[in-house]
Amino acid sequence: MAREKLPISVCVISGAEARRIGLALASVAEWTSEIIVVLNQEVSDGTDQIAASYGARVFREAWKGHIAQKNSALEKAAQPWILGLDADEAVSGELRDEILALQAPFSNCAAYSFPRCTFYFGRWIRHGDWYPDRCARLWLRGKARWAGIDPHDCLRVDGATGKLRHDLLHYTAESFDQQLGKALRYADDFARHCAATQRRIRTSDLILRPGWRFVRSYFLKLGFLDGWQGLSISSVTAFYTFLRYAKAREALLKTP
């Protein structure tokens, strides 16, 4: 017997994600009422066709930054509840069942958060800075919008946020080149923000912040329990921290 669909609009923004978006949409297509995909204008790898095959409404738009792009997808939603999903994520069966068990109108909470578990080079990461990585992704339309500093968006909720137990699954970088490329792009975004706000970057930021991020991730948050992958995550996180502050300082030196 077909399952009755919940009054949820799934909102996704995407670049060229033909290899991964199918898994994301398959995890929600059978039990949600609407899928919205805002696709970068230049994408030509077939992502749009895959999204359409899952019943998604696809909109092509020029890239405006993570926050503006996600709010654009949100504005197109018609259902009373919104589920924000990235193209490299999937709702686990356990999380799906937990959401189904809530039933409409999902009690009195304006939003719900859940932990996000990342698959990294053959291992699900359960420690360090990457877990539980709790994020609010299910909310009542009109009660939340995306905010933050690109590319690190966060949901600003007007009302109570309930906590669900089960994991959103995250399939992150497929290679070190991809991971480091993302770190460079994110560092550039941070540098532009610092230049725009005239944020002062001190030498101590370059010295202390990377070391602290490694110690916190690898030792205090038990990243060493995740094997060599945990060491890799802690090391790359420390490098990214140094990179973002170094690039921000460079950008300020170039500002007239």
Domain containing residue 19: CATH number: 3.90.550.10
Q: Tell me which of 171, 198, 233 is where a domain ends.
A: 171
Is residue 187 situated within a structural domain? yes
DSSP label at residue 230 = H
Do 43 and 164 fall within a single domain?
A: yes
User: Which residues have a Cβ under 8 Å from the Cβ of 220 and sit 6 or more positions away?
Assistant: none
**174, amino acid identity:** E
Do 203 and 155 fall within a single domain?
A: no
**pLDDT bracket for residue 1 (50, 70, 90):** very low
Is residue 190 situated within a structural domain? yes
Contact (CB, 8 A) for 29 and 53: no
Do 22 and 77 fall within a single domain?
A: yes
Contact (CB, 8 A) for 97 and 27: no
pLDDT computed for residue 10 by the predictor? 98
**25, amino acid identity:** L
Do 166 and 199 fall within a single domain?
A: no
Is residue 1 situated within a structural domain? no
Can you say how many angstroms the Cα of residue 6 is from the centroid of all Cα atoms in its chain? 23
Phi, psi (rounded to 5 degrees) for 78: -110, -20
Is residue 30 situated within a structural domain? yes
Give the span between the Cα atoms of 51 and 13, in whole angstroms.
11
**Tally of domains within the chain:** 2
Is residue 76 situated within a structural domain? yes
Give the span between the Cα atoms of 94 and 131, in whole angstroms.
17
The pLDDT of 71-88, averaged and rounded, is 97
Task: Quote the mean pLDDT of the chain.
Answer: 93
**Domain residue limits at 203:** 176-254
- Residue 62 in tokens: 């020029």
Q: Tell me which of 148, 171, 194 is where a domain ends.
A: 171
Do 126 and 11 fall within a single domain?
A: yes
Do 139 and 208 fall within a single domain?
A: no
Q: pLDDT tens across 89-147, in order?
A: 999 999 999 999 986 556 679 999 999 999 999 999 999 999 999 999 999 999 999 99
Do 117 and 238 fall within a single domain?
A: no
Phi, psi (rounded to 5 degrees) for 111: -155, 165
Is residue 189 situated within a structural domain? yes
Q: Tell me which of 171, 188, 214 is where a domain ends.
A: 171
Give the span between the Cα atoms of 206 and 212, in whole angstroms.
11
Is residue 116 situated within a structural domain? yes
Do 103 and 20 fall within a single domain?
A: yes
Is residue 183 situated within a structural domain? yes
- Residue 16 in tokens: 């060229």
Do 183 and 164 fall within a single domain?
A: no
Edge-first strand order for the sheet with 135-140 is 57-61, 32-40, 6-14, 81-84, 135-140, 111-114, 161-163
Q: What is the pTM of this model?
A: 0.92
Do 158 and 208 fall within a single domain?
A: no
Do 163 and 182 fall within a single domain?
A: no
Do 182 and 166 fall within a single domain?
A: no
pLDDT above 80: residue 81: yes
Q: Which residue has the higher pLDDT, 252 or 229?
A: 229
